């Protein structure tokens, strides 16, 4: 329950930005969290998980609370599912590995996503054909002002593509303290996305398993996404933008190579990485701020970039995509 002052946030964000926090502490339970919210109620507050979806553009003049709520347990089961509750401060990838070890299926396609379990509902994390909402049962969240616990069911969370009620209507109102997952006893494999099938073939897997799917996903991810331990980044900096079919056909006439896939609504989701690459940004570097050479959607810090240098680069990318394609990108990363 110790509060430190004037602390560098560099070890606590995957971009490796050296912003400072006026105050910094960690909490291991809802009770500790509640105590901080009471004693430090006048200060601006930022709850931090793994810091892998955040860009600090300035020092944080308030209290940064690092989430350390741990504990994973099976709380229920029926014929088809196990219900597994995880403390929100658990590491996401370790949670996925534990599920695989126990043969609890559903999160294997989400292997190797950095960060904590508690942030996973924030933007409904997704990868390789699966989103958090597909395995979500409920979560518990602590109201910052009322100091009471709430339970949110799947319907309550308003999940969408990289969206939830916690990013919009309830922004900065709740701290997620635990998440309960509904995982399958018998897996339903999801291998149709991207290069999973090819990677499984390359691995010469004799029998398909959730472990094999995770291994394929891990290999594909490692081949194109920079490891934050080596190059600072926060994954995709922008979302893949959605346009209607009419707009898509007009763009396709002018840019026949444009990549998009049709959504159930009939709208088209464009590959933002392709748009950015076409504007010439892929592999671009100015100082220590850059656009990753293998994935243009990922902005990187090669060492000592300042948060505002990364932000300014994102703004230049935004403007050039708007100019060339008339498409407005939306940032996925949380800007502080």
Residues that bind ligand EPU (CB under 6 A): 127-128, 194, 224, 235-236, 239-240, 259, 271, 273-274, 277, 282, 295-297, 332
The binder of 194, among ligand FAD, ligand EPU, none, by C-beta within 5 to 8 A per type, is: ligand EPU
Other CB atoms closer than 10 Å to residue 7's CB: what's the count? 17
Among the options 162, 164, 215, 309, which is catalytic? 162
334 lies in the site for ligand FAD, by CB under 6 A: yes
107 or 119: CB nearest ligand FAD: 119
Q: Is 201 a catalytic residue?
A: no
* Min separation Cβ 211 and ligand FAD, Å: 19
Q: Mask of contacts with ligand FAD, 81-100, x by CB under 6 A?
A: -------x------------
Q: Say how many residues make up the chain.
A: 336
Q: Is 162 a catalytic residue?
A: yes
**DSSP E strand boundaries for the chain:** 4-8, 20-27, 45-48, 54-55, 60-67, 72-77, 81-87, 126-127, 130-131, 136-143, 149-153, 174-184, 232-236, 242-243, 260-262, 268-270, 285-286, 289-291, 298-301, 334-335
Given a contact cutoff of 8 angstroms between Cβ atoms, the answer to whether 96 and 191 are in contact is no
**Separation CA 17–CA 305 (nearest Å):** 7
What is the CA angle 286-289-295, rounded to 5?
Answer: 105
Among the options 182, 236, 309, 314, which is catalytic? 236
Position among 19, 30, 36, 51 found at the interface with ligand FAD (CB under 6 A):
51
The binder of 100, among ligand EPU, ligand FAD, none, by C-beta within 5 to 8 A per type, is: none
Q: Mask of contacts with ligand FAD, 116-145, x by CB under 6 A?
A: x-xxx-xx-xxx------------------
Pairing mode, strands 54-55 and 4-8: unpaired
**Separation CA 239–CA 236 (nearest Å):** 7
φ, ψ for residue 213 (rounded to 5)? Answer: -60, -45
Give every CB contact of residue 30 below 8 A, 6+ residues apart in sequence: 69, 142, 149, 177
**Separation CA 72–CA 304 (nearest Å):** 37
Q: Is 215 a catalytic residue?
A: no
238 to 277, contacts with ligand FAD by CB under 6 A?
none
Position among 228, 241, 260, 290 found at the interface with ligand FAD (CB under 6 A):
228
Position among 54, 96, 216, 279 found at the interface with ligand FAD (CB under 6 A):
54
Q: Site residues (CB under 6 A) for ligand FAD?
A: 14, 46-54, 67, 88, 113-116, 118-120, 122-123, 125-127, 175-176, 225, 228, 233-235, 334
What is the set of active-site residues?
162, 236, 332
């Amino acid at each position: 329950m110790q509060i430190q002052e004037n602390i560098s946030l560099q070890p606590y964000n995957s971009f490796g930005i050296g912003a400072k926090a006026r105050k910094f502490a960690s909490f291991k339970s809802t009770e500790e969290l509640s105590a901080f919210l009471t004693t430090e109620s006048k200060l601006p507050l930022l709850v931090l998980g793994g810091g892998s979806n955040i860009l600090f553009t300035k020092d944080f003049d308030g209290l940064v609370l690092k989430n350390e709520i741990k504990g994973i347990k099976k709380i229920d089961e029926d014929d088809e599912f196990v219900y597994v509750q995880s403390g929100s401060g658990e590491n996401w990838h370790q949670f996925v590995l534990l599920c695989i070890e126990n043969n609890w299926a559903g999160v294997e396609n989400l292997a190797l996503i950095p960060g904590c379990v508690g942030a996973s509902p924030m933007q409904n994390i997704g990868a390789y054909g699966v989103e958090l909402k597909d395995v979500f049962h409920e979560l518990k969240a602590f109201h910052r002002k009322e100091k009471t616990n709430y339970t949110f069911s799947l319907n309550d969370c308003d999940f969408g593509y990289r969206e939830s009620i916690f990013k919009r209507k309830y922004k900065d109102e709740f701290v997620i303290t635990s998440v309960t997952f509904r995982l399958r006893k018998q897996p339903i494999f999801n291998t149709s996305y991207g290069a999973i099938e090819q990677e499984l073939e390359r691995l010469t897997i004799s029998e398909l398993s959730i472990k094999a799917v995770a291994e394929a996903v891990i290999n594909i991810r490692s081949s194109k996404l920079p490891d934050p331990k080596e190059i600072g980044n926060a994954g995709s900096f922008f979302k893949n933008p959605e346009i209607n079919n009419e707009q898509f056909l007009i763009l396709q006439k002018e840019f026949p190579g444009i990549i998009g896939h049709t959504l159930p609504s009939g709208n088209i989701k464009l590959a933002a990485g392709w748009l950015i690459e076409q504007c010439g940004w892929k592999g671009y570097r100015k100082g220590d701020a850059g656009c990753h050479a293998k994935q243009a959607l990922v902005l990187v810090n090669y060492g000592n970039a300042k948060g505002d240098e990364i932000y300014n680069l994102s703004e230049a990318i935004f403007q050039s995509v708007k100019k060339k394609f008339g498409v407005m990108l939306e940032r996925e990363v949380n800007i502080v």
